[in-house]
Structure formats: C-alpha cells, structure tokens
C-alpha cells in the first residue's frame, strides 16, 4: 500500500510537470523558450522534497533533478519531467531500496501499534514477543541495507553483534538491544516473571525510536 501511495504522489508531480510544460512561451527580448516561473518553482520544490524523502539526497534522481531543473527554461523543465518519469519506472519495478525500506517502516509501525494495543490492555507477554519479532526483522533489514551478510539462522544477538562490529551503531545501542533481546527470549520461553510491564513499555518505545533512526 505504501508503494501505491508513493506512486500516486509521483503521478501527481508528473501531471504537474505536464502543466508546467503547457505554459511554454517565447519571451520578448530573450532568446529561448520558457515556462511559467512561479509554477515551475512550486513544482521543482515539491519534486525535490519528494525525491529526497523517498530516494534520498544522494540518489541519482535527486541529484539530476537538482542539477538539471534550476531555471524556467523549457528544456530544463522537460529534463525534470523525464527524471520523474524515470523515477516512477524504477520505483514501480522495485529497483530502489529506500522505497522498500519505507514500506518496511510502515509495516513495522503497524505491528508496533498492535504491540502497544496489547500492552495498553494488560497483555505484556505477547506485546514483548511481538516487539522482539519486529526488532529482529528490523535488524535483518539494517544488515542488508549496510551490505552485511545475513544467514537464515541469525537471531537478534548475532545480528546485533554484526552491526556493532561494523560500527553501524555504538556499543551503548548494542547493550540496549541485548537487554531487549533478553526480554523477548523470556517472553517466548514463558519466563514471564523475569520482566515487568514497565520493561516492555520501555522496550516498545526504544525499539520504535531505534528503527526510526536506523531503518529509514
């Protein structure tokens, strides 16, 4: 669903770009063909914000748009529109990793909301187990995003060790993740007296913040 929203927003920017091109005109006294300056400025700002949010400021699409669509000349607006169309094709084809990460973040958020609902209703044990599962999957994706090898048998401890050893995050986070792992393991193995409700609340808040910092 998140990819559909991304493509929908991109379609609206492409449509806006077509409206920009429709304003083409020849300016008296200045050589060349131009488009409406205020409309192209609005379109360019919105497009750069979209490309940054979905693909990142280091993506080729963002850099090309920023470099090639600066002024109100027709040819620059045409290049900007071509870049948006190329981005749409790449996103629809599943070739861009950051969009996949955004989708993952959306899914993780849904599961963490489920865990919060369980916790609010007094079910600390399934909330701890669900939060731990989200954390493990998130660590896997962070490893992939950092080109670290992931095995099917990897768990929170092994993934945490890989990420810390490769300086993806600092030792303090490594220790905190191990604490969350202990809570998750106790929940999964029925050792429900080894942690309290407030431990799970802290875990849920911490995992949510961690994934927002390192996954997206």
pTM: 0.54
pLDDT of residue 104: 53
DSSP state letter for 155: -
Helix (H) or strand (E) holding 209: helix 197-214
Where are the domains positioned within the chain? 2-92, 97-214
Q: SS3 for 216?
A: coil
One of 2.60.40, 3.30.1380, 1.20.120, 1.20.1440 is the CATH number of 97-214, namely 1.20.120
Query: In terms of Cα–Cα distance, which of 64, 118, 109 is closest to 209?
Result: 109
For residue 90, the number of C-alpha atoms closer than 13 Å in the C-beta half-sphere is 18
pLDDT of residue 121: 86
pLDDT of residue 147: 86
Per-residue pLDDT of the chain (216 residues; tens, 9 = 90+): 467 777 888 899 999 999 999 999 987 767 789 999 989 988 998 898 888 777 777 778 888 899 988 889 999 999 999 999 998 887 887 656 555 555 455 556 777 888 888 888 888 998 898 888 889 888 988 888 888 888 888 999 999 999 999 999 999 999 999 999 999 999 988 899 999 999 999 999 999 899 888 875
Output the six-digit token pair for 166.
């490769």
Helix (H) or strand (E) holding 33: strand 33-34
pLDDT of residue 76: 94
Buried b / exposed e over 155-186, threshold 16 CB at 10 Å, is: ebeebbebbbeeebbeeebeebbeebbbbbbb
From the number of C-beta atoms within 10 Å of its C-beta (0-12, 13-18, 19+), residue 28 rates as: exposed
pLDDT of residue 96: 60
In order of 79, 132, 160, the CA distances from 186 in angstroms are 57, 11, 18
- Kindly state the greatest CA–CA separation across the chain: 82
- Torsional sign, CA 189, 110, 151, 145: negative
């Amino acid at each position: 669903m998140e990819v559909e929203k991304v493509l929908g927003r991109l379609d609206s920017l492409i449509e806006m770009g077509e409206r920009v091109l429709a304003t083409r005109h020849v300016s008296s006294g200045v050589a060349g063909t131009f488009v409406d300056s205020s409309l192209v400025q609005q379109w360019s700002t919105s497009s750069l914000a979209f490309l940054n949010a979905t693909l990142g400021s280091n993506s080729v699409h963002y850099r090309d748009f920023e470099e090639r669509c600066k002024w109100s000349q027709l040819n620059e607006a045409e290049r900007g529109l071509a870049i948006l169309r190329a981005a749409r094709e790449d996103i629809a084809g599943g070739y861009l990793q950051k969009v996949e990460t955004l989708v993952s973040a959306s899914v993780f958020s849904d599961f963490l909301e489920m865990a919060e609902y369980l916790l609010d209703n007094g079910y600390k044990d399934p909330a701890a187990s669900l939060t731990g599962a989200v954390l493990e999957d998130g660590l896997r994706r962070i490893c992939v995003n950092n080109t670290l090898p992931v095995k099917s048998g990897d768990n929170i401890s092994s993934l945490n060790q890989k990420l810390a050893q490769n300086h993806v995050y600092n030792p303090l986070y490594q220790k905190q993740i191990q604490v969350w792992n202990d809570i998750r393991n106790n929940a999964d193995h029925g050792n429900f007296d080894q942690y309290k409700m407030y431990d799970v609340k802290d875990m849920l808040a911490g995992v949510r913040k961690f994934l927002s910092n390192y996954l997206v």
